[in-house]
Structure 1
Amino acid sequence: MEHGILSLLPPVLALVLVLITKRVLLSLGAGIIVGALMVHQTEDMFVNAAIADIAGTVTSIFWTADGVNTWEFYIILFLFLLGMIAALITITGGGRAFGEWALARVKTRAGAQFTAGFLGIIIFIDDYFNSLTVGNVSRPLTDRHRISRAKLAYVVDSTAAPMCVISPVSSWGAYIITIIGGILATHGVAQYGSLQAFLMIAPMNFYAVFAIIAVFAVAYWKLDIGPMRTHEHRAMETGELVDRSRGAIPGENEETVPQTDGKVADLVIPILILIGATVLFMVITGIQGTEGDAGLLAIFENTDVAAALLYGGLISFASALILAFVRRIRVSQIGLGLWSGVKSMLPAVYILVFAWTIIEVIDALGTGEYLASQVDTFIPAALLPVLLFVLAGFMAFSTGTSWGTFAIMLPIAGDIAAAVDITLMLPVLAAVLAGSIFGDHCSPISDTTILSSAGAGSHHIDHVLTQLPYALLIGITACGSFLVLGLTGSTLLGLATGAALLALLLFAVRIYTKRLDNSSAAVS
């Protein structure tokens, strides 16, 4: 039956509850239950029917009439493997060893920030792992060059989620590819698979792309604005890397002490193996999917992403485990580390299952079709990408979670695009992903922001206040890019527009900071 404006009730309820409670699972669960009741409201025993429908949807995630649902099941196993790999790298002391290696080779302040930025790009398998590892690895190097902890936290945070969200070989990539796959299947989009769609979306994620670029521009040109300027000047002039008046420094006392004789290879080998093995199995499964007679693009269109991630993760995990035994780490310590790695991924798994479920509920209610009819009446389709970017940014800022925003907004954006203009499918999905990272960077309750503060050894409130001006600059840049993308449909023009706008904004900031420096020099 047609639900009209009432079809908005489940997603709106989920959004309101997220804003009030800050609990994504509870909010998504409430939306799922209310939506299922609405779907079956005309049936006898509709409560039982709704419960059975939810149970059937959840069960189908893991089991179908043909047996195990390998796609979803493999993705979940891959997430657990990532948590265990991260734990093993920490235990073996690979992160610490890499930091000491870099310390002897990097001689400048800009070089130290570049090193942290490059680490953020390289260590992209998971944002939690990235935030904590890059901060701890880089801290000895940045401390020596009198770089404030707030600046390090900015570098860490602005490369962690932005890199994870555009990399298919990451916990984020696996999560997003799975959701996209469900959206494409729901709307009968068959011209590209979920992996190909993700790779096409990545360069459209303008906020993530320009946030990474800005990190290096800020380091090279010393673009310290707002509260960041105060922190950097204090660090350079007095050697005080944090504001001591705020109390104890977070992240200074680590519960788990890594091996002191760890090697750089303990970090590099598992990550390189994860990347290499996953790509290899993507090619192998792609060849099998095309029966061995296709070009490279066709191979990646038909690859089994979930299986490739699982196989690559297993080989990487085995290599990390072997390195742990080679370092003669106690079995009990390894066991505790592996269990902590599994537990660290449980929230991601829970959200993923709820996301798969709410996709089906929203589709059954026709929420997207109703929203699309309203948007088509009052809002030009070309403005959808920029409007969804702003909306997703507001949601992520208010809730502190990118993944929760993905779960709610991606299905709705897909439904709107399918009803209004199917050619906007990828741009609107990219806008939601980009807006979610933007809001996450601005939010004081974001878990990644909190972990970046802890990893860098910065007071959390200092990190939030110093990062906000940079996030807003990149947000303005992304708005310009999404406006052009919606109007022209060209990713290249969107990137060119964003690059020009970012260069203009950074140039203005550089002139402003130089004037401040000259004024300070004249006074002294």
Structure 2
Amino acid sequence: MEGTIFSLVPAILMLILVLVTRRVILSLGIGIIVGAFMLTQMDIGAGLSLIWSIFAGIFVSEGALNTGSIYLLSFLFLLGVTTAFMTASGGSRAFGKWAVERIRTRKGAKLVPSILGIIIFIDDYFNALAVGQVARPVTDRYKVSRAKLAYYIDSTSAPITVISPISSWGAYIIGTIGSILAANEISDYQAFEAFVLMIPANFYVFAALLLVFLTIYLRLDIGAMKTHENRAKDTGELHNPDKGDVPGDLNNEFREHDNGKISHLIWPIVTLIIGTVGMMVYTGIQSSEGTADILSIFANTNVNISLFTGGIISVVTALVLYVGQPSPKSGLMHVFLQGLKAMLPAIYILIAAWMIGDIISRLQTGEYLAQQFSQADINIAYLPLIIFLLSGFMALSTGTSWGTFGIMLPIAGEIAAVTDPAFLLPALSAVLAGSVFGDHCSPISDTTILSSTGAGANHIDHVLTQLPYAIIAAVAASVGYVVLGLTGQVWVPLLLALVIVLVTALVIHKLNPEKG
């Protein structure tokens, strides 16, 4: 069943179950079981053995610790502990009070995560988690739903990272482009120049970013998002209370200290940023061959160990600040354990997402989709559109932008180079745009999971509330790619895509105006 149409079954089944049941762990679990049994020809014993092997492989691979996943999971626990100490110390409450004096509207509160999401462009993981920690006290004060906060985080983190050359994504993409140019003997431009030239043709990214700010200024709450926002404004419930625990939510497990100061929140976050970025630079320099420049540093950096290091430093900082406060305060162990407990929902979802991602990879789902695309007789004018849609579906099914980059960039590059080299850069841009679109829609995307974690939102609520906005941006981008293919222009279809988003937003606002 590997590499055939049947390889789509686990991914499609999982997506349907998520939409129908809205229970992400159950849906992922069924997808894992079905996929494992397909790989073992319905042998129950072998299927269960494969499931255990995949689970164990998250922690131990080829007789050695799988440090990448262990560091990332550990960082989530560390982030939970840091948040717990910042909350128990009264730092989050003090920051909220300070922000209320300076940010006087819900609109201003919503701008905080949106602007921070664009400023913190180094890495999507770091962006999603750091922005959530800074913005949550402000958005909570103004009763902005956690689903809305998660949307702002997710719809700025990946889009800004994928068009930034000085980022973990940008460095990886530039390296991949370099190999594509070399393989197709294209010498008109170097990899970095090609990446910069590709940026305007990433229509989905600009459409999604524009829509973020339109939702703020037009109070554009669509579908399920409106339910979450109305509940937050009317009752103060920032997420659905019937959904149980959400990642990072401490549920008032301890009393916040009365003498909390803004510094109890700021310093742990500052040390988190400095520690993480500093370690990213250090590991990038250590792994670079020859003279290390900024691109080689970010191309070779170890993001997961950098996050872990920054997390350790942040926990120590938050702990020291908490211990230095006068009594009475909650016990250290109690706060520590509550911080660990708060991150368990995110850990469960992330592990399950990794497992089904492994299953889908073994079934060669991405390879099957790519093969069907390569064999199709496609009019070159529609190449960017088809690449965008296929990359979106691949990222949606597999839950990985990077995996889609690795499969689709070489294929798109080769097809464009052979048929019409003028379409090379637009085709590669369409891969990046489609991958981010699919990532935004996928419940098994690690970036989507971490965005809901950073926001303290129920994960499936985040996926379902973000979906309408992603589709609006994708439709606008699709029109742009059709025009690009027919005209060969880039700036005109980009402007057209943005106009479509703007007009759509204005129409929705006029038909269903929001108040407050």
Structure 1 length normalisation: TM-score? 0.65
SS of corresponding position for 1:263: coil
User: How much has 1:279 moved relative to structure 2?
Assistant: 1.4
Structure with the larger RCO, 1 or 2 (CA within 8 Å, 6+ apart): 2
1:362 aligns with 2:363: yes
Q: Which 10-residue stretch deviates more, 248-257 or 8-17? A: 248-257
Pick the aligned partner of 2:384 from 382, 389, 392.
382
Residue of 262, 267, 270 corresponding to 1:269: 267
Partner of 2:234: helix, strand, or coil? coil
Correspondences of 1:37-436 after superposition (within 5 Å): 37=40, 59-65=56-62, 67-107=64-104, 110-115=107-112, 117-118=114-115, 125=126, 134=135, 137-140=138-141, 142=142, 155-166=148-159, 207=204, 210-220=207-217, 222=218, 241-242=233-234, 254-256=251-253, 257-290=255-288, 293-327=291-325, 328-355=329-356, 357-358=358-359, 360-363=361-364, 367-368=368-369, 370-373=371-374, 375=376, 381-388=383-390, 391=393, 406=399, 411=403, 414-415=406-407, 418-419=410-411, 421=413, 427-428=430-431, 430-436=433-439
Name the counterpart of 1:502: 498
Determine the C-alpha separation between the residues in 1 that align with 2:59 and 2:158: 25
> Is the 2:149–2:455 contact (alpha carbons within 8 Å) kept by the matching residues of 1?
yes
Number of aligned positions between the proteins: 453
How far apart are 1:100 and its partner, in Å?
A: 0.6
1:474 maps to 473
Separation in structure 2 between the aligned mates of residue 454 and residue 59 of structure 1, nearest angstrom: 28
Structure 1: any 5+ residue segments left out of the alignment? 144-148, 396-403, 441-445, 518-524
The Cα of 1:276 is off from its aligned counterpart by 1.8
AA matched with 2:268: P
Q: Deviations over 1:216-263 (max 9, x none)?
A: 34544x4668899x99xx99xxxx94289xxx9999995334334322
Unaligned stretches of 5+ residues in structure 2: 19-23, 183-191, 415-423, 444-448
Paired residues of 1:121 and 1:163 also in contact (CA < 8 A) = yes
Aligned-partner Cα distance in 2 for 1:282–1:510: 42
Which string of whole-angstrom CA distances, capped at 9 and with x for unpartnered residues, describes residues 347-392 of structure 1?
2441343145225413499534543355456995422343236647
Give the C-alpha shift of residue 277 in structure 1: 1.4
Amino acid in the other structure paired with 2:234: V
User: Could you tell me how far apart the structure 2 residues matched to 1:489 and 1:340 are?
Assistant: 54
Q: Alpha-carbon deviation of 1:287?
A: 1.5
d(CA) in 2 for partners of 1:489 and 1:319?
54
| CA RMSD of superposed structures (Å) | 5.5
Does structure 1 retain, via aligned residues, the 8 Å contact 2:113–2:132?
no
CA distance in 2, matches of 1:157, 1:378: 39
Q: Distance in 1 between matches of 2:408 and 2:111?
A: 41
For 1:486 and 1:319, locate their aligned partners in 2 and report how far apart those are by CA, in whole Å. Answer: 54
| Partner amino acid, structure 2, of 1:382 | P
- Cα deviation 1:457-502 (Å, max 9, x = unaligned): xxx89x989x887665434334345557888999xx47x7445533
| Cα pair 2:391 2:408 within 8 Å, conserved | no
What is the letter of the counterpart of residue 359 of structure 2?
I
* Structure-2 separation of matches of 1:72 and 1:296: 25
State which of 7, 13, 16 in structure 2 corresponds to 1:16: 13
* 8 Å contact from structure 2 (residues 10, 360) kept in 1: no
Hey, what's the Cα distance between the residues in 1 that align with 2:507 and 2:92? 38
**CA 1:59–1:153: 2 relative to 1, 3 Å:** closer
Alignment partner, residue 520 of structure 1: none
